[in-house]
Chains A and B, each alone.
Chain A
């Protein structure tokens, strides 16, 4: 059952070749034997098997859907009732939420079986999964390299074939960049497409939940289950949800206008191997009838600096609730209130989180607000306008997902600016609230290269259709790391 897609597993269950209980047991065993990857923070065998039995019962009653009985895992940023939700932080090492995130609830109702919670950068702040309190995740393709981040555990779990699909969140590239670095498919939906309820906030105006899986088809199955209006999230869009899988065939590559931002291909610090792989992928699109053309996104270069004002500013406020008063880490024997705050937060948060809280606090401070936060919001609008103009001419925008393949663990850990540049191509998409996905598009030095496709607001169906079309032509998405990598 290892390395099978959701679609394949559902078919196998439908044909009676295996049960959900068997699949779940197999997934739990695989997770156990791949513990060196450190992809999971929490494994929930008992509740998983109970859910699997319920799924098998539902199937016997003829009530099975596309996800019924399929084992999946959630990034540990999604609150799960009764299951510790750490957000990769010591701060929440003891936190057991009494409620489920919308995404968790939706996928459970769709019949998916949760086998556990995946490792991640602390509070989703990182591009390598090295900031986790639970230690780094290893990339199954090469265990000395990072899987990307912040949804590194979710990416590694799919890449290693432990589960066919996982959930992730993407604030500046946290689904797409790890998908690229581990050779899987990952979708960041339009801001507002998936409810943020129960998803621990990093930067509220940028955070978006999305699926990670081997294929675009599996992403479409997952998104159909995850998307939808939720009145508990005021920023959630009341847009109808398409059956994205059924819509895959509606979007052929023929005549697809593909924009190639010259700024993405001329970017400084881009690996030649990555550039070559993506260019070949675009050639394949052209051969299938797509119409690539150069476009310009003139403000692309401002995306990273703007992001590193807005995201930390919001984070500095979002993370204020972790104060040691009501839940989460509390220091031992506080002397007084000030001491309680300082030590609880000082001990509970890691270095990268502290760095961003400080940067964000500074950006919002009296006297600096206009120069940083307000200015960043203005530039954010310019970036959004760049995309709006581009989508007058093209249907999707293509380019590399990340400037390099997976890098060595520790390589950028002490250089935050180099680390931040890992997200140079993904960040603008969050600033503009657009949907984008990363799909495997080649290899460089034996490591996967991801191609990013960016769509217009709520145009997920077209994006998934294009990605699916590409995956009909190529087999990069079928490449798997060798077990002894």
Chain B
């Protein structure tokens, strides 16, 4: 039987506010345990939550970017359960009426086509603290620094059909929240997290199969591996006559498998009800308009503009707009060198390769956009060839200075003086009479040999076009 996977993602984006969603405590990452938790975060008696307006604006930003309905009135609800790192015994979240209603996000598939993925909702909620199980003997420690950090939970429709699609969607959303400046996207620090709901069904069947929820997927790679493993597991299980049970499963990256988180999860009754400490959240059309004004150019719009304004192929435009930082970098290079296609080739080629090898983000590139533009200007004005430029780039990367300094220091300036090139050409022809004879006898592909010899004689600095031109004159003459 042929099977089809049905996948929906729940993404948790930590909002990049300075303070917590319901208190004035700092959200900065990495502080000493429990130094960034105030009375509200600690769930002390009598203290009350006060909503962070910035978190609301950030949610509205995402709503607008997803072309979603932003609720004029949404409601905070309490999700009740006991856990030591949940200080109040309930999490303040949104349940029946979320701040962001149905919207969508378009993703690019491997075959070059686009697919629209429905976003069911996005709602505001507070993060819990952390339980620490090492170093406390038979006890556990609690760190409440993270408690109350604002989260936006973004829930997709079950529109994804493969692990690849799921990753494409997650990457696109990751890029979007960073474009919007609402989340730093740092997955190591848990700023952007993913749970995946996965089920399988025979191709052609419209009902969904029973799903499992995968947790602990804190990298794109883990998402892909976990979903693929889970799809295989479910298919195998069904084909062997078993049945998938609805449960939460934890991905174990060391073993590359998902494991049932047996326990009370399924038995939990969260007893949601509207939080009486918070009034319904009212979002006026005026606020929405204001947020719309602040909205940066979104990735899809920027991509189209790069195609129209810079004449980039759609693929290239997609690559350089994949992150706001890369797109900003690219535009800075273009404005510094004036050649968009050349800029795209270098940003996507040499630069991306070097960053990748060094494991660096473009934001941490040792080669600034200004410096790269300086190098590309020397290609455009034919001071150096593309080949020499690669050597210069490596030197820039190694910190030897900017393009002009390196070209000067290493004497890499291209030879464009015709008489100098003519002299080299004559020397090469004189030194290879045998090849000259064969060429003149019709073996014209020896042209390449001669070009190579001349370039070698010039240590790569001779202008290739001029070399070609002069050689042709001499050989054919």
Contacts from A to B (Cβ < 8 Å): 78-79, 85, 87, 92, 95, 97-99, 101, 196-201, 203-205, 231-235, 313-314, 316-317, 319-323, 325-327, 337, 341, 361, 364-366, 369, 373
Q: Are B46 and A198 in contact (CB under 8 A)?
A: yes
What distance in Å separates the Cβ of A164 from its nearest Cβ neighbour in chain B?
Answer: 25
A378 to chain B, nearest CB (A): 13
Contact status B88-A233, CB under 8 Å: no
Which residues on the A side are within 8 Å of B142 (C-beta)?
A: 325-326
- Residue B42 at the A interface, CB < 8 A? yes
CB distance from A336 to the nearest CB of B (A): 9
Whether B46 contacts A235 by the Cβ 8 Å rule is: no
Query: Are B90's CB and A232's CB within 8 A?
Result: no
Enumerate 20 A-B pairs (CB-CB under 8 Å) in ascending A order. A79-B45, A97-B45, A97-B46, A99-B47, A201-B46, A203-B276, A204-B276, A232-B48, A232-B50, A233-B48, A314-B276, A317-B78, A317-B273, A319-B89, A320-B80, A321-B45, A325-B84, A364-B80, A365-B269, A369-B273
Bound together, the chains give a CA A322 to CA B87 distance in angstroms of 9
Q: Establish whether residues B45 and A326, one from each chain, have CB atoms under 8 Å apart when the complex forms.
A: no
Bound together, the chains give a CA A203 to CA B275 distance in angstroms of 11
Interface residues of B in 277-297 (CB under 8 A from A): 277-279
With A and B bound together, what is the CA distance between A369 and B43 in angstroms? 25
- Confirm or deny: B244 has a beta carbon within 8 angstroms of a beta carbon on chain A: no
Does B44 lie at the interface of the complex (its beta carbon under 8 Å from any beta carbon of A)? yes
A359 shortest CB reach to chain B, Å? 13
Residues on A with beta carbons closer than 8 Å to the beta carbon of B47: 99, 197-198, 232
Distance, CA A200 to CA B277, complexed state (A): 12
Q: How far does the alpha carbon of A321 sit from the alpha carbon of B140 in the complex, in Å? A: 18
Instruction: Decide: B279 and A234 in contact? CB cutoff 8 A.
Output: yes
**Chain A proximity of B136: nearest CB distance (Å):** 13
Task: Find out whether the CB atom of A205 lies under 8 angstroms from the CB atom of B276.
Answer: yes
List of A residues within 8 angstroms of B87 by Cβ: 321, 325-326
Q: Does the CB pair A317–B277 fall under 8 Å?
A: no
Tell whether B49 is near chain A: CB-to-CB under 8 Å: yes
Bound-complex Cα distance A6 to B227 (A): 72
Assess whether A99 is in contact with B45, with CB atoms less than 8 Å apart: no
Alpha-carbon distance between A325 and B131 when the two chains are bound, in angstroms: 12
Does chain A have a CB within 8 A of B132? no
B277 and A98 contact, CB distance less than 8 A: no
Given contacts A203-B276, A325-B87, A366-B269, 15 further A-B contacts (CB under 8 A): A79-B46, A92-B45, A97-B45, A98-B44, A99-B39, A197-B47, A198-B46, A234-B48, A234-B277, A317-B78, A319-B89, A320-B80, A321-B45, A364-B272, A364-B273
Query: Which chain B residues lie closer than 8 Å to A316 at the CB level?
Result: 80, 271
Tell whether, in the assembled complex, residue B45 and residue A231 are in contact, meaning their CB atoms are under 8 Å apart.
no
Contact of A337 with B88 in the complex, beta carbons under 8 Å: no
Q: How far is the CA of A361 from the CA of B81 in the complex (A)?
A: 11
B277 pairs with A204, CB closer than 8 A: yes
Q: Answer whether residue B82 sits at the interface, using C-beta atoms and an 8 A cutoff.
A: yes
Can you name the residue of chain B whose Cβ is closest to the Cβ of A360? B271
CB distance from A396 to the nearest CB of B (A): 27
- In angstroms, Cα B82 to Cα A199, docked, is 23
B51 within 8 A of partner (CB): yes
The distance in angstroms between the C-alpha atoms of A366 and B49, with both chains bound, is: 26
Q: How far is the CA of A197 from the CA of B277 in the complex (A)?
A: 10
Do the beta carbons of B276 and A323 come within 8 Å of each other? no
Bound-state Cα–Cα, A322 to B89, Å:
8
Residues of chain B whose beta carbon lies under 8 Å from any beta carbon of chain A: 39, 42-51, 78, 80, 82, 84, 87-90, 140, 142, 269, 271-273, 276-279
- C-alpha spacing A234/B50, complex, angstroms: 6
Q: Which chain B residue has the least Cβ–Cβ distance from A337?
A: B84
Contacts of B272 in A (CB 8 A): 364, 369
Cα distance A231–B89 in the bound complex, in angstroms: 24
Give the distance in Å from the alpha carbon of A233 to the alpha carbon of B22 in the complex.
Answer: 11
Distance, CA A140 to CA B277, complexed state (A): 36
**Which A residues are CB-close (under 8 A) to B278?**
234-235
* Alpha-carbon distance between A371 and B76 when the two chains are bound, in angstroms: 21
Among all A-B residue pairs, the 3 with the closest Cβ atoms = A320-B89, A205-B276, A204-B276
- B45, B90, B142 — most chain A CB neighbours (10 Å): B45
Pick the most buried of B49, B269, B278: most chain A CB atoms within 10 A of its CB.
Answer: B269
On whether A200 and B273 interact (CB within 8 A), knowing A321-B89, A325-B142, the answer reads no
Is the beta-carbon distance between B271 and A365 smaller than 8 angstroms?
Answer: yes
Closest to B40 in A: A232
Q: Chain A residues near B276: list those with CB within 8 A.
A: 203-205, 235, 314
A321 contacts B43, C-beta separation under 8 Å: yes
**Are A327 and B44 also in contact (CB < 8 A) when A364-B80, A366-B269 are?**
yes
Smallest beta-carbon distance A77→chain B, Å: 8
Residues of the A chain whose Cβ atoms lie less than 8 Å from the Cβ of B50 = 231-232, 234
User: Across the interface, which residues of A come within 8 angstroms of B49, CB to CB?
Assistant: 234
Q: Is the CB of B89 within 8 A of A200?
A: no
Chain B nearest Cβ from A106, distance in angstroms = 15
Of listed A97, A231, A320, residue having the most chain B CB within 10 A: A320
Known: A99-B39, A204-B276, A366-B269. A87 touches B90 (CB 8 A): no
Between B42, B276, B279, the greatest number of chain A beta carbons within 10 A of the residue's beta carbon is seen for B276
How far apart are the CA atoms of A122 and B49 in the complex, in Å?
24
B277/A320 in contact, CB under 8 A? no
Query: A97 and B44: CB pair below 8 A?
Result: yes
**Nearest B residue (CB) for A336:** B138
CA gap between A203 and B44 in the complex, in Å: 16
Q: Which of B48, B49, B89, B142 has the most CB of A within 10 A?
A: B48
Do A317 and B89 touch across chains, with their CB atoms under 8 A apart? yes
Q: In the assembled complex, which residues on chain A have CB atoms less than 8 Å from the CB atom of B84? A: 323, 325, 337
Partner of B80, one of A85, A317, A337: A317
A323-B277 in contact (CB<8A): no
- Contact at B89–A323, with CB atoms within 8 Å? yes
Most B C-beta atoms less than 10 A away, residue of A79, A204, A322, A323: A323
Residue of A nearest to B278 (CB): A234
Cross-chain contact A373 with B273 (CB below 8 angstroms): yes
Q: With A and B bound together, what is the CA distance between A326 and B83 in angstroms?
A: 12
The CA-CA distance from A92 to B272 in the complex, in Å, is 27
Chain B positions within 8 Å of A205 at CB level: 276
Query: Cβ of B279 and Cβ of A320 under 8 Å apart?
Result: no
Contact residues in A for B80 (Cβ distance below 8 Å): 316-317, 320, 364
Tell whether, in the assembled complex, residue A364 and residue B39 are in contact, meaning their CB atoms are under 8 Å apart: no
Q: Are B46 and A326 in contact (CB under 8 A)?
A: no
Across the interface, name the chain B residue whose C-beta is closest to A345.
Answer: B82
For A87, the chain B residues whose CB sits under 8 A away are 45
When A323-B82, A341-B82 are in contact, do A200 and B271 touch as well, CB less than 8 Å?
no
Cα–Cα, bound, A101→B47 (Å): 9
Residues of the A chain whose Cβ atoms lie less than 8 Å from the Cβ of B88: 320-321
CB distance from A368 to the nearest CB of B (A): 10
Closest partner residue, chain A, to B49 (CB atom): A234
Q: Give Cα A297 to B130, complex, Å.
A: 51
A483 vs B194: C-alpha distance when bound (angstroms) = 70
Give chain B residues whose Cβ lies under 8 Å from the Cβ of A231: 50
